[in-house]
Amino acid sequence: MVFEGLANRLQDTFNRLRGKGKLSESDVKEAMREVRLALLEADVNFKVVKEFVEKVRERAVGQEVLQSLTPAQQVIKIVNDELTQLMGGSQAKIAQAAKPPTVVMMVGLQGAGKTTTTGKLAQFLKKQGKYPLLVAGDVYRPAAIKQLQILGEQLKTPVFSMGDQVSPVDIAKAALEHARVHGFDYVLIDTAGRLHIDEALMNELKMVKDAVNPHEILLVVDAMTGQDAVQVADTFHKELEVTGAILTKLDGDTRGGAALSIRAVTGTPIKFAGMGEKLDALEPFHPDRMASRILG
Ligand code: GDP
């Protein structure tokens, strides 16, 4: 379970704090030291941890908190608030164009779960009564087009493909035209991923972006890769100005560092969380619910 280790450690810290009754400034300091270590152990970005703990400490040593009847409870509430803020505050929803179709470009490194997530997103949109078109724009990975077509069949959702001999830019343009003519609400463009970020990949993604002017560029990152995922998000954001991240494999045994760091490091909100391999295992990302999961 994501955040399990972090949740356990914070619960120990806060139980000790509750046991004390009245709190002194040094009690708070001691608790903050523990919070800091717990976050670092959960693989949260070092700078993010530092700023977070400082913010919480400042609020927690305030007169009103220490002199209240339930100081420990107040400190926990502050941690809860700040964790929620750290992950973006309120839920960041997927864009919807004033005039359909809404164009969504899916980007990410190979293996992050981009193609699967594109299918999951189509399913999510369909459940909301939308009519999405899947676009097979990854022309380099031999199985990618086939994979998307199979997903399309499972989801009973049309897949736009021009094979692997046409440039991704031309595919994206033609797909958009096709969507306009046929009244699709959303165009979900699966793009090529590589094992590593390289200039050729970025240039091509920029060309696709310039060609179709997406309302949303969603970066799919693997939560299991921890701070590497944050690094990847930072680079993609700088190059492409992504509008949101989707964190996959949060059902796995990840410590949660990526979930807690991505927003603070890159400024990009996490919009969805992948919670499994099945097509319905995609959830809108709720910062407050995630914080509650950590604090129990
Ligand atoms: P791509 O190369 O980025 O397009 O990655 P794929 O969509 O092919 O996914 C790579 C692997 O990750 C596949 O085995 C997926 O089933 C798996 N995967 C994707 N999202 C999730 C998720 O949220 N949880 C789990 N457990 N596996 C996932």
- Does the beta carbon of 108 sit less than 6 angstroms from any atom of ligand 1? yes
Q: What is the predicted ipTM?
A: 0.99
Do the Cβ atoms of 113 and 196 come closer than 8 Å? Answer: no
State the distance from the centre of ligand 1 to the C-alpha of 242, rounded, in angstroms.
Answer: 20
Residue 145 pLDDT exceeds 90: yes
Residue 193's pLDDT band, with cuts at 50, 70 and 90, is very high
Q: What is the structure's pLDDT at 21?
A: 83
Quick check: 179 and 205 in contact, CB under 8 A? no
Ligand 1 atom at shortest distance from the alpha carbon of 252: 26
List of residues 6+ apart from 72 with CB closer than 8 A: 14, 17, 18, 20, 23
Please report the pLDDT score of residue 64 as a whole number. 87
Q: Which atom of ligand 1 is nearest to the CA of 274?
A: 23
pTM score of the predicted model? 0.96
Report the separation in Å between the CA atom of 180 and the middle of ligand 1, taken as the mean of its atom positions. Answer: 30
Give the pLDDT band of residue 34 (cuts 50, 70, 90): very high
Write out pLDDT tens, residues 149-190.
999 999 999 999 999 999 999 999 999 999 999 999 999 999
CA of 284 to the centre of ligand 1 (A): 17
Confirm or reject: Cβ of 274 under 6 Å from ligand 1. yes
The packing angle between helices 46-60 and 257-266, to 10°, is: 90
Is the per-residue pLDDT at 1 higher than 90? no
